[in-house]
Amino acid sequence: MVIRLGIIGLSADQSAWANMAHVQAIKPGGPLTDQYKLAALATSNPKSAKAAADFHGVPADKAYSKPEDIANDPEVDLVVVSVKVPMHKQLTLPALRAKKDVFVEWPLGANLAEAEEMASLAKKQGVNTYVCLQARLQPAFVKIKEIVASGALGRIISTTVLGTDSQMIDVPENARYANDPSSGASILSIPVTHTLDAVLHALASELSSLSATLTITHPTIAFISPSTGAKSAPEPRRIADNIAITGILTHSGAPLSFHYLISTPATPSTFQWTICGEKASLRMEGKSFAVQMMPPKLFMAEAPQGAEQKGIYDSREGGAEWREIEVAKSGLGVFGGVAEVYEKIGKGDTDGLVGFEEAVVRHKMVEAIERSAREGRRVEYL
């Protein structure tokens, strides 16, 4: 059965996220065109809705400017919300009230309370819900999950994540709103949580407790014009850009160390994740912390031959060497990793997908990280 989509936030702007990451997979000629049809769209006003409909070949009577209209369209099966975070709740609730399945970008809400409200209504309405935490479907993370589950690493004794990003000291003008802590669109809630969610999912774990430090390393931020490339006058930075988290994994009791910072160009953007096991270890490396968009490489090291016969702790063999593991590439070829979510929804395969209730757990984790940093103590969120 073809799923008829109604996308809120789909404009005629080809650089917009909904155009780059959502529509490319389901448009005519796209890899999922046999599973989906773009049936309707909605923007903030009739003029932009008409322009978007003309651009995407959507009938004029299916171009809406009110969320209630697209939610109540009987020819829409799945409502997609791809807009700025502060608007997620107000645009999602009408679809839930209309008992429509809903797919929302992460974060689900601007805060935990909003996420809990949406999850509660979705459960009451009995609808299917999806939240776009797509990094966990990236092939390298899927491979790590398989290896960890197989027991090939033995007992996991530690895991460490380090990421730097030299591209975000200044940001595009349309991201100005994210410098407001109340927006819910912080460095912690978006890039950090996208990656930390994928790490925890691959390890089949949560954090039984955590401690966090959030600091502002670069005191000012400028905003870049999309048309001219000119920067605005510097403004005070209001959200943390240097984030350090330590925690204990529920599955193994091993410690997790996670550090992400916005760096200057003196430090290249990078992503490194190491899982240390008693029998073998894994390492993931990439040139971007946005692992859902720029696939990293995967390496494995195993105890030297003969070490197991002697006993892992008795062997005095030389250290293991890293070897690259071949990882299957996504056959969808669409930027952003969102297409993998659509593919699973279309097949009715929920493995690895995040619904509203699980998204609430992620919001609780983000809230706990902020609380730990604010109060200077170890906290729990489960």
* DSSP 8-state symbol, 303: P
- Whether the CB-CB separation of 235 and 167 falls below 8 Å is answered with no
pLDDT tens per residue across all 382 residues of the chain: 899 999 999 999 988 999 999 999 898 888 999 999 999 999 999 999 999 999 999 999 999 999 999 999 999 999 999 999 999 999 999 999 999 999 999 999 999 999 999 999 999 999 999 999 999 999 999 999 999 999 999 999 999 999 999 988 999 999 999 999 999 999 999 999 999 999 999 999 999 999 999 999 999 999 999 889 999 999 999 999 999 999 999 999 999 999 999 999 999 999 999 999 999 999 999 999 999 888 899 999 998 765 555 566 665 555 678 999 999 887 788 888 999 999 999 999 999 999 999 999 999 999 999 999 999 999 999 9
- Whether the CB-CB separation of 302 and 323 falls below 8 Å is answered with no
Give SS3 for 295: coil
CA distance 308 to 301: 14
CA distance 185 to 357: 20
- Whether the CB-CB separation of 352 and 292 falls below 8 Å is answered with no
CA distance 117 to 140: 34
CA distance 276 to 259: 17
Pick left, alpha or beta for residue 66 (phi over 0 → left; psi -120 to 50 → alpha; otherwise beta).
Answer: beta
